[in-house]
Structure 1
């Protein structure tokens, strides 16, 4: 298996994308630690993994609390011996409106939240990965330089900001054998609410793809597992495009 004897920590692991990554990592043999603020959703993901023969543990962690994150990652390393993969799927509070309609306070607060949680969790994992001289830091979202959609509000801006953060981490951590990779997504349609209002957004993502289809949650888990594995060891300091060609970043 691709991730046998590896330890993966997923913040926001109870969400749709976090659960998909946890499932993908566990299916390839990783010991998965899913963290978040909602015990019920975390246990749902962990129970599904265990039912399929995988290893999963849960922890209630506020990823905006640096002390809580550091205590958690220390406990993971004490239990498993290492932290080999870390990813934060929490992100910012999305505001899909024209920029002119968003209050300055709301805009700044949302961007700040996204960057703060990413910085906290990455610093915590990097502290151990530097000692190990190995590790993979994954990010999700990515920077789409060809974005031409109005009404995206703070969403693409926030993802661009996180991607800039990832690039800086890449420069500083590469000398320690740590890889940094972003999964560039154009939207995972099977995470969208199944309501009529979302149909146009879902179809626009499909239409933007040359193959006229969208990435699924299973695709996310499979690609993330490959990139994080030693099979993907030549991939670092870059984005891996999982948008089925919809993004050109």
Structure 2
């Protein structure tokens, strides 16, 4: 198994994407620690993993609370001996409007929240990974330099900001053997509401792909597990495009 004896911490582990990654990591032998603010969602994912024979533990952690994040990851390392994989899937507040229609305060607050939680959780993991001289920091979303979609509001700007943060982490942490990789996505249609309002978004993502299909949650988990494993050890300081060609990062 690719991730045998590895420890993975997933912030937002009760969500669709977090659950997909957790399941894939556990299937490859990792011991996964799921955090979030809704115990029932976390336990649903953990139960699914345990039923399949994997190892999963949950904890209610506010990823905007630096003390809570640090206390949790310290406890994980004390229990397992290391933290090998960390990913924060806490979604920023999305405001899908033309920039001219968004209030300055709302725009700045949403971007700041996304950057703050990413900085807190990455600092916490990096503190232990530097001591280990190893580890993988995964990011999700990425920067699409060819974006031509209007009315994305703060969404792509926020992902661009986090990608810039990831690049800086890559420069600073590479000397310690730590890899940093972003999974570039154009949207995972499995996670969209099954409503007429979202039908167009689903179709546009599929149409943008040269293969005329969209990445699934299973695809996300499988790629994440490979990238985080030693088989992906040559991949760092970059984005891995999981958009089925819809994005051009």
TM range (shorter): over 0.9
Q: CA deviation at 1:92?
A: 1.1
Residue-by-residue CA offset, 1:170-220 (whole Å, 9 max, x unaligned): 000000000000000000000000111110000000000000000000000
CA distance in 2 between partners of 1:72 and 1:102 (Å): 36
1:138 is paired with a residue whose SS is strand
TM-score (norm 2): 1.00
Partner of 1:147: 147
Q: Note if contact 1:31-1:56 (Cα within 8 Å) is conserved in structure 2.
A: yes
- Within the alignment, does 1:182 sit opposite 2:170 as a pair? no
Partner of 1:19: 19
Partner of 2:116: 116
- Within the alignment, does 1:79 sit opposite 2:88 as a pair? no
CA distance in 2 between partners of 1:68 and 1:193 (Å): 31
Partner of 1:200: 200
Q: Note if contact 1:91-1:113 (Cα within 8 Å) is conserved in structure 2.
A: no
TM-score (norm 1): 1.00
Displaced runs of 4+ in structure 1, greater than 2 A? Answer: none
CA distance in 1 between partners of 2:143 and 2:93 (Å): 17
Q: Note if contact 1:138-1:181 (Cα within 8 Å) is conserved in structure 2.
A: yes
RMSD: 0.3
- Name the count of aligned residue pairs: 249
Gaps of 5+ in 2: none
Q: CA deviation at 1:91?
A: 2.8
CA distance in 1 between partners of 2:109 and 2:45 (Å): 30
CA distance in 1 between partners of 2:22 and 2:107 (Å): 30
